[in-house]
Structure 1
Amino acid sequence: MEHLQVETSTTRKLSPTESSQVPNPRKRRAMKLIGVCGLLCAAVPGFWHFSFPQEHPAPYQFTKIADTRGGVFREFHLSTSIDEQGMVLFRANLVGGGQGIFKSDGSVTTQIANTSEHFDAFRGTPAVSSNGQVVFLGSRPSGDFGYSRGTDVPGDFLYSNKDFEDLGDLVINNGGTLAFKGKKSKGRRERRQIFLGNGGRPIPVPESQNNQIGMLSLNNVGHVAFSTGSKVYVSDGKTTTLLTDGDKQYFLFYRPVINDHGMVVVQTASEPQDDWVAKHLVAIEDGKVTVLASTQGPFLDLLSSHAVNNQGQVVFSALLDGEITGIFAGPNPTTDVVIKTRDLLLGTKIIDGPVFSNRGFNDAGQIVFYARLDDGTEGIYRADPHPSSIPISSNGILTNPPASKPATSKP
């Protein structure tokens, strides 16, 4: 993976005030003339290496995965995951008390684990690979905590507090490899670090010992993408590659996601003028940065959720004027919207959400999200693209496949 050459400079974090601070429409139009031409026009030559799920708006069909109407679920953990078969993995609190880990395709819901048997609590977002392998972080009444496979709930933890003082965010790929954040030992000098493993001796990822590391992304080649705030890395556990660094244009990188072809999509920020913070969704491939969406255009804000699949298709969450939150499959908020606040969802208006996860998008173009409706119902739903929205040529091959092939190295 080619190292992007940039000039380095002092970087800083985005404060809570700056995160919500965006220019008024008049200033945005002025900034668009100055900033978008420089950002988007420079990115045009590489833009068609990437695609959004549809060239023209096509209806999505919506499926209820689970909701609070049935008397079983009381509320849902907002971050959900989906595999390649459209099976959705989620965590929920139960009406009768306690919580559980569940999977559902909308027809059949299966309980994987709950707090009335082997666990007393669950933490974070349960992870599922594209081929359906499940892993989650839970604690037991004994005080022990660790990662469990969905097929071996009462068995030994894959990694636990026997080896780590603390464990955090995790992901799993089709080979059963986990990427997770952990802190090995006590002491102020010890920081959280990323590890790779499948239940054996964990491999520490070079350059990942940093408390600022956020959500992880792991592809099926065994490459983990992560950000330390001002930098974005990809590693196979042996070699860690710096993709980009903070400079005068970009000073923050948030939640990188990676597909099997090495394409990384990440949210970043810049300050074009007047100290207004502009946010951008960018793709990094072969050392080139391509802007896919920006608050210097029609979006009031970009939220932290975005995903890329192995077709190179990208979906993301953004905020529009009027406090409208939406999931978008392209840079045009009118023609590329999947669903948004105040839309009807299965006949009832959305009043909160939709909330989309970085792990909520698969190669079939299916998107899973949370929403609260105006009748008080909360639920997890799946958007299934109409078959006509997927660009297929006469020989059955996607019309704009990824430009590069996956690497063959494994951690």
Structure 2
Amino acid sequence: MKHFQIYSSVFLSLLLLPAVSPRSTEAVPYVFEIIADNKGPINSFGQATINKSGIIAFGASKDGGGGGYFIANGGSLTEINARGTPPQINDGGTIVFNANNQSILTYTDGVTTTVADRAGIYSSLGVPSINDSGTVVFQTTLDTGGEGIFVSRDGVVTEIVNTRGQFNSFGLFADINNSGTVVFTGTLDTGEQGIFTAYNGQVSTISSRNASRVSINNEGTVAARIGDGSLFVSGSETNRFSDSFSNLIGAPALNNGNSIAFQSGSALFITDHLGNLESIVAPGDTIQNGITMVGLAGEHDYPGWLNDRGQVAFWAYLSDGSEAMIVASRVPEPSSFLLLFSGSLLFLLPSLRRRLSSSR
């Protein structure tokens, strides 16, 4: 009887497993979570950034005027009394932002720290980015003339490239990975434009294309939207999706798994490291409880809205008349359940053998 109970339990577990089928080429299902909406004190949203823990930072305006940054973490919403460019968040939960072109600030656990401000040598400040060790990179125009790209590490600010040499100007956005490699766009004294990296004093050309909104991951892969509205990815064919997408909007988001999310029209898409393309969300898709997305509420102008788990943060107009900040998470494939069960079964086998032996 004991043998029958043990075998029947294993057999029942197998029956309860979802059917495993080959990966479909159709749209992969995503589940959506509404993080915040404008049915309360928030009036409208700005672009969000999301880290691997699913913590989200975004800007928003409030009813009656005013607004600031908000951090959404596990159902709680924390407001930061500051406004400026869309924030960037690292995996430690620190956010960085340009506060109305007056200063670049970081915020961690209630503490705001000044990285740079216009009271010093800077006459204007670009959009900052931050890596997981808290190193911040930013572009600036100097009081003495010219431009530079600076890195702030442990409170020490260092210029890594400037317009006193081969460069004439820089784009407003630069990005930095965990090894300290910085990617930026610039125009040379010759008039040529391109994508460049800087590491340990060495500047390298990644592409001689006119590009904007660049990002770099920890493997050193670079993604950007190039001038004709198509996608550039270093180490692969540019215009990878030019046959299907000729109107990329805003900035592509690149994670450390080499997945890239991007906006085309009013829809969001994602590609994995093999170039397999999936639709994330489009007008008419159900978001929650029969409520559908009418359209995206803005452009994703800055990287950071895709995390290493493949989650995407976006804001949209919904069919109930509201505007909402939403996180999209990919539904696991059935094969992942099979792997989970197989691992559990291997873990339980020694116990099953002991029980069988003791029942003899």
TM-score by length of 1: 0.66
1:145 paired with 2:102, answer yes
| CA displacement 1:35-83 (0-9 Å, x = unmatched) | xxxxxxxxxxxxxxxxxx99764211101111101x2101112x21111
1:68 paired with 2:10, answer no
1:169 paired with 2:127, answer yes
Query: 1:192, CA displacement in angstroms?
Result: 3.2
Distance in 1 between the 2:96 and 2:328 partners? 24
1:375 paired with 2:332, answer no
1:281 paired with 2:239, answer no
Of residues 323, 326, 337 in structure 1, which corresponds to 2:279?
337
Listed as ranges, the gaps of 5+ residues in structure 1 are 1-52, 247-251, 270-277, 320-324, 397-411
**CA distance 1:289–1:237, change in 2 (3 Å):** farther
Distance in 2 between the 1:90 and 1:371 partners? 13
Of residues 35, 56, 59 in structure 1, which corresponds to 2:29?
59
Structure number with higher relative contact order (C-alpha < 8 Å, ≥ 6 residues apart): 1
Distance in 2 between the 1:372 and 1:395 partners? 37
| CA displacement 1:218-237 (0-9 Å, x = unmatched) | 21111111112620001125
Tell me the residue number matched to 1:90.
58
Identical columns (%): 23
Distance in 1 between the 2:245 and 2:330 partners? 23
Distance in 1 between the 2:178 and 2:78 partners? 25
Provide the secondary structure at the position in 1 that maps to 2:333.
helix
**CA distance 1:183–1:226, change in 2 (3 Å):** same
In the TM superposition, 1:378-397 aligns within 5 A as 378-388=323-333
| CA displacement 1:109-159 (0-9 Å, x = unmatched) | 122x21xxxx5xx211112112211222326xxxx9322221376765221
**CA distance 1:225–1:96, change in 2 (3 Å):** same
Tell me the residue number matched to 1:350.
293
Q: Give the aligned residue type for 2:92.
A: N
Distance in 1 between the 2:312 and 2:259 partners? 12
Distance in 1 between the 2:147 and 2:326 partners? 34
In the TM superposition, 1:170-319 aligns within 5 A as 170-186=128-144, 190-198=145-153, 200-206=155-161, 210-228=168-186, 230-236=193-199, 238-246=201-209, 252-269=210-227, 279-285=229-235, 289-294=237-242, 297-319=243-265
Distance in 2 between the 1:213 and 1:392 partners? 45
Tell whether the 8 Å contact from 1:169 to 1:215 is kept in structure 2 after alignment. yes
Tell whether the 8 Å contact from 1:84 to 1:363 is kept in structure 2 after alignment. yes
Q: Give the aligned residue type for 1:132.
A: G
Distance in 2 between the 1:392 and 1:99 partners? 43
CA RMSD, Structure 1 to Structure 2 (Å) = 3.1
Between the two proteins, the alignment pairs up a number of residues equal to 304
| CA displacement 1:141-188 (0-9 Å, x = unmatched) | xxx9322221376765221122222212001111110011222215xx
Listed as ranges, the gaps of 5+ residues in structure 2 are 1-22, 188-192, 342-360
Query: 1:93, CA displacement in angstroms?
Result: 0.9
Rg larger in structure: 2
Tell whether the 8 Å contact from 1:207 to 1:240 is kept in structure 2 after alignment. no
Query: 1:88, CA displacement in angstroms?
Result: 0.6
Tell whether the 8 Å contact from 1:146 to 1:159 is kept in structure 2 after alignment. yes
Tell me the residue number matched to 1:81.
49
Query: 1:300, CA displacement in angstroms?
Result: 4.7
Q: Give the aligned residue type for 2:99.
A: G
Distance in 2 between the 1:391 and 1:134 partners? 33
Distance in 2 between the 1:389 and 1:306 partners? 29
**CA distance 1:308–1:383, change in 2 (3 Å):** same
**CA distance 1:389–1:80, change in 2 (3 Å):** farther
**CA distance 1:302–1:137, change in 2 (3 Å):** closer
Q: Give the aligned residue type for 1:293.
A: F
